[in-house]
Each structure stands twice: as structure tokens, then as C-alpha cells.
């Protein structure tokens, strides 16, 4: 989460204080125009998040208005879903059904082909979830999701901010609870490693994936200030959106550098016909850049 909804002074003040501590409050007005070949393709959002490619278009959330938008190939933006209960992370399963992490709904839902909703997870051990934030789908249609506590602290029921797995059979398992603020999440291209951003600890963690979907012991994969969205490209390179830009590692964990973006980052996705265009979501805007150009623009920085 990058910016709280302005509902009332008390909520705004308390949440802003929390987000300031973890370095997530930024001023949208301070954003600068991007330098080519980084292109701003849409703007005017309150908190753009959860980008995912549907094969032809970019689908993404605007969290605080509780909307999901479609960015078409012609550059037009249309709203495809409203009242998502602060929907954030998005993904598609193998049947191309849209999956949504609902922060204010305290649940993960699936949009069926007829437009109806199916609740996939809303509790663990009989207690309401904190506020699912981001998710990743494996080859069996099992779903990993993070459940941090950014909002609704007065409604907390879970004892941990954790990572969960919804098995193909629908069982909800807690698979990692060694993170302080789990946020972005992604599987590697083989589905054998799960990457999870820990925003407060400024770390990217890597977990081996077991055959049953559970996770082995995690390890530190990399560091960056305030990591949020995480993705892995077709070549196995790992990308994490953070406070200072998008950090990139090769598959072995070697830091390649950081792509600077002139706005507070939330997440990224790969799209285009060859899946080699990177779309980047920020508080107010969506950017895009070709991957080969992005790699050339990486700057050496903190390790």
C-alpha cells in the first residue's frame, strides 16, 4: 500500500503515520516526467496496483476507488469492475478467470465467466484474514497470497502477517510466517521458488516450493528499500518494485541494478505479444518500457 484513502482525519493520520514508518508515503505531485524510452501511458489514479496481462490488454486495480481498469492496446482506459472492496493484487488462473485480493473484503475471490464471484479464502483457523494484498498462481491452479496488515488494524484477528496457499482442492494453508510485512509475491518460471517481498525489513525472500504446495526454509535473496510488487521474466530475472525504483537480479541472485522511475512504485507486469514489455504501476500512473531497453537503463546502486 502506498497511500491511504481519505475517509476521515483520524484514519488518515493514524495510517499515514504507520506508512511513513515503513517509507511508503510519497507525494504524487513530486513525480517527474519520465525520460525516454520510459513512457507514461495512463494517469489520474489514486493507487494503481496489481497489474496483470490478459493476453491483449493490461488489467490493473485502482485500490482506493475499488475499481479494476483495462488499458487497451490503443491506450484507452476503461473500468471493467467496480466495488472491489479495495481490490489490490490480481492474477488469472488457467481458465482465465480473474483472481482478486480484496483488502477491505478480507478475502481472495474469483470472478467466474458469468461475472459472479466465488470466495476462495476469507479466514484461517476460524479467524478473519488481515487483508490479502498480492497473489501468484502455480501450474496446478494453487494460489499463494500475502496477508499483511496495512489497513483495518482495529479489526485484526490473525496472530501473524503471513503467506498462505489455497490448494487446488480449496484448502487454505499458512505456508510462511517469518516475514514482518509480506507484500509482493511471485513464482519463478519453473514454479520451484516463491519470492516474497518483506516491505518493513526491506528484503526479498526466496522459498523452495514443495510438491504439495508447502514451502521449505526461506532465505534472503536480495535487499531494496520498501519492496512491493515482484515479478519474474521469461529469462528468469527477478524484478522488485521499491522506493528507489525497480531492482533486478539474475536467476542466481546477482544484483544487476535498478531502473529508476519518477513516481512512487507499487508493482509491475510483463505483457505485449512477446511478453517483453514491462508495465509499471505507481500511485497515480502506469508506465511501460521494453525489457531490453530497461536492462540498458539499469544503474548500479546499493546491494
In this predicted model, what pLDDT tens digit does every residue of 93-107 receive, in sequence order? 999 999 999 999 999
Amino acid 264: pLDDT: 82
What does the pLDDT read at residue 36? Answer: 59
What percent of the chain has a predicted confidence (pLDDT) above 90? Answer: 78
pLDDT tens track for 111-130: 999 999 999 999 999 999 99
- CA contacts within 13 A on the Cβ side of 248: 22
Report pTM. 0.88
pLDDT for 21: 33
Q: Provide the number of structural domains found in the chain.
A: 1
Per-residue pLDDT, 186: 98
Q: Tell me whether residue 17 is in a domain.
A: no
Lowest mean pLDDT among 20-34, 95-109, 258-272, 277-291: 20-34
- Which residue range forms the structural domain that includes residue 225? 36-296
To 10 degrees, the CA torsion angle through 51, 55, 57, 59?
-30
Q: How far lies 110's CA from each of 46, 47, 53, 74, 126, in Å?
A: 24, 22, 16, 27, 21
Residue 30's SS3 state is helix
Mean pLDDT of the residues in the chain: 88
- Tens of pLDDT, residue by residue over 33-76, are 555 588 999 999 999 999 999 999 999 999 999 999 999 988 99
Q: Is residue 184 in some structural domain?
A: yes
| Residue-level pLDDT at 25 | 36
The per-residue pLDDT for 206 is: 97
Mean pLDDT across the stretch 138-167?
92
Give a yes or no: residue 4 inside a domain.
no
Question: Per the domain annotation, does 84 fall within a domain?
Answer: yes
Q: pLDDT by residue (tens digit) across 199-250? A: 999 999 999 999 999 999 999 999 999 999 999 999 999 999 998 899 999 9
Per-residue pLDDT at 22:
35
277 and 303 Cβ atoms separated by less than 8 Å: no
Instruction: Indicate whether 284 belongs to any domain.
Output: yes
Question: What CATH number does residue 186 fall under?
Answer: 2.120.10.30
Asked if the structure places residue 8 within a domain, the reply is no
Q: What is the pLDDT of residue 103?
A: 96
Q: What is the predicted pLDDT for the residue at 108?
A: 98
In a domain, 26, yes or no: no
For residue 23, the model assigns a pLDDT of 38
Amino acid at each position: 500500500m502506498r497511500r491511504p484513502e481519505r475517509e476521515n482525519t483520524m484514519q488518515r493520520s493514524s495510517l499515514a503515520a504507520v506508512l511513513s514508518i515503513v517509507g511508503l508515503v510519497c507525494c504524487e505531485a513530486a513525480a517527474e516526467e519520465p525520460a525516454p524510452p520510459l513512457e507514461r501511458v495512463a494517469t489520474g489514479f489514486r493507487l494503481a496496483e496489481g497489474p496483470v496481462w490478459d493476453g491483449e490488454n493490461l488489467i490493473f486495480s485502482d485500490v482506493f476507488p475499488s475499481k479494476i481498469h483495462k488499458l487497451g492496446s490503443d491506450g484507452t482506459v476503461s473500468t471493467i469492475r467496480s466495488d472491489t472492496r479495495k481490490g489490490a493484487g490480481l492474477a488469472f488462473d488457467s481458465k482465465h478467470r480473474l483472481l482478486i485480493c480484496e483488502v477491505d473484503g478480507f478475502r481472495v475471490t474469483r470472478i467466474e465467466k458469468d461475472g459472479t464471484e466465488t470466495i476462495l479464502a476469507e479466514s484461517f483457523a476460524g479467524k478473519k484474514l488481515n487483508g490479502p494484498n498480492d497473489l501468484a498462481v502455480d501450474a496446478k491452479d494453487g494460489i499463494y497470497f500475502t496477508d499483511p496488515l496495512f489497513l483495518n488494524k482495529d479489526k485484526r484477528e490473525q496472530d501473524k502477517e503471513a503467506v498462505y496457499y489455497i490448494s487446488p482442492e480449496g484448502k487454505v494453508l499458512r505456508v510462511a510466517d517469518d516475514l514482518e510485512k509480506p507484500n509482493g509475491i511471485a513464482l519463478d518460471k519453473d514454479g520451484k521458488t516463491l519470492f516474497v517481498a518483506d516491505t518493513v525489513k526491506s528484503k526479498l525472500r526466496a522459498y523452495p516450493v514443495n510438491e504439495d504446495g508447502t514451502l521449505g526454509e526461506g532465505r534472503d535473496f536480495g535487499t531494496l528499500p520498501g519492496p512491493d510488487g515482484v515479478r519474474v521474466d521469461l529469462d528468469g530475472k527477478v524484478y522488485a518494485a521499491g522506493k528507489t525504483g525497480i531492482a533486478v537480479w539474475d536467476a542466481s541472485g546477482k544484483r544487476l541494478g535498478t531502473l529508476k522511475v519518477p513516481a512512487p512504485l507499487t508493482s509491475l507486469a510483463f505483457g505485449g505479444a512477446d511478453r517483453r514489455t514491462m508495465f509499471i504501476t505507481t500511485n497515480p500512473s502506469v508506465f511501460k518500457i521494453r525489457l531490453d531497453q530497461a536492462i540498458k537503463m539499469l544503474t548500479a546502486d546499493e546491494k
